[in-house]
Amino acid sequence: DRAPLTVTITGAGGQIGYALLFRIAAGDMLGDRPVRLRLLEIPQGMRSAEGAALELQDCAFPLLRDVEITDDPGTAFDGCSIALLVGSRPRGPGMERADLLAANAGIFGPQGAAIQAHAADDVRAVVVGNPANTNALIAAASAPDIPAGRFTALTRLDHNRAVGQLTAMLDAEAADIRDVAIWGNHSATQFPDVAHATVAGRPVMDALTERLGSEGAATAWLDEDFVPRVARRGAEIIEVRGSSSVASAANATIDHVRDWMLGRAPEDGWTSVALPSQGEYGVPEGLVCSFPATSDGSGYRVVEGLAMDERARARFEVSVAELAAERDAVAALGVL
């Protein structure tokens, strides 16, 4: 199908927006499918989005049909097939969690409603703006006529970070690493799990044991280095770079949508995506939780039936409890 797809990017005038727009227009996200871009901003972000649109024009991308900038969600989501919800209210100094959730409910509630009212029937949305999982829950709750699985949140960056750590430790290529999983919330409680992962067909656990000399050393590296480093990588990037992850976040967003729309080759194994639980692994229904997943292009499917040992289960449950607490806090605001 060569008909242009409408892609809406919220917060398009921000950092991640700037990194996303050019890659989408270049064809990195949807192959050779032409695109129409709709950029949603708030008034103070409009000039920045306009500047990006000027630069898009200067790229003369063959696949880019047109660009429209607006501060009206109804206009931005009109005919939208792919919604990238990037703009959100970040946590300010001294801001309580309830204030943060309330501010974001004021963004993602109306955007979810506008998606339901104006987007294409086949719309798929991914929330990047934090707290991403709960923002996706709010958007989905505000669009009850849209199948819940069309609202996802981004944990692909965490997934890619985990793969990156393994490639460095094992001297391996990213393409040789399969079946890593991110479980839970896109926050410091997430559980990056390599129990089922392989490197060039061999269990990652075996490769780590060989590299580090013993199974105990491999487990210690996973517990003390790998898991906290992946879970806190965002903070590490801020410390080193002086600013939060931008290009890697945009790259993960592109990966997430491309796999969702075009499918993943079975030999690439699974990826990670946060989507509304249907009760998989005992996660309360509706919580937007990260699971390992596959995609054939029609939708993400949670990989079910994986064994989890007690320690893994305990870690996962901490993150799920955090998601449930966020949901309860939002419900207490009367939003759900």
List the binding residues for NAD(+). 11-17, 104, 111, 128-130
> Judged by CB, which is closer to ligand NAX: 104, or 198?
104
**Closest CB 211 distance from ligand NAX, rounded Å:** 28
Question: Which residues in 71-180 belong to E strands, given as ranges?
Answer: 82-85, 124-127, 151-153, 177-178
Which of 47/211 has CB closer to ligand NAX? 47
Least Å distance, CB 333 to ligand NAX, is 17
Dihedral of CA 69/58/253/31: which sign?
Answer: positive
Task: Give binding residues as ranges.
Answer: 11-17, 91, 97, 104, 111, 128-130, 161
Instruction: For residues 243 and 123, give the distance between their C-alpha atoms in angstroms, rounded to a whole number.
Output: 32
CB of 200 to ligand NAX, least distance (A): 28
Nearest to 160 by CA among 220, 233, 219: 233
Cβ 92 to ligand NAX shortest distance, Å: 12
**CB-based contact 218:208 (threshold 8 Å):** yes
Instruction: Give 86 or 205: the residue with its C-beta nearer to ligand NAX.
Output: 86
List residues forming the annotated binding site for substrate: 91, 97, 130, 161
Residues that bind ligand NAX (CB under 6 A): 10-11, 13-17, 40-42, 44-45, 86-88, 90, 107, 128-130, 132, 154, 157, 186, 234, 244-246, 249
Nearer to ligand NAX, 103 or 324 (CB): 103
- Minimum CB separation of residue 2 from ligand NAX in Å reads 30
- Which own/partner pairs from 269-273 qualify as long-range (CB within 8 Å, at least 24 positions apart)? 269/178, 269/179, 269/198, 270/178, 270/179, 270/181, 270/294, 270/303, 271/156, 271/159, 271/295, 272/155, 272/156, 272/158, 272/159, 272/180, 272/181, 272/182, 273/152, 273/153, 273/155, 273/156, 273/300
Q: Which residue is nearest to ligand NAX (CB)?
A: 14
Q: Which is nearer to ligand NAX, 235 or 331 (CB)?
A: 235
Give CA–CA dist 304/310, Å, rounded: 17
**Planar angle of CA 178, 311, 205, nearest 5 degrees:** 35
Residues belonging to the active site: 186
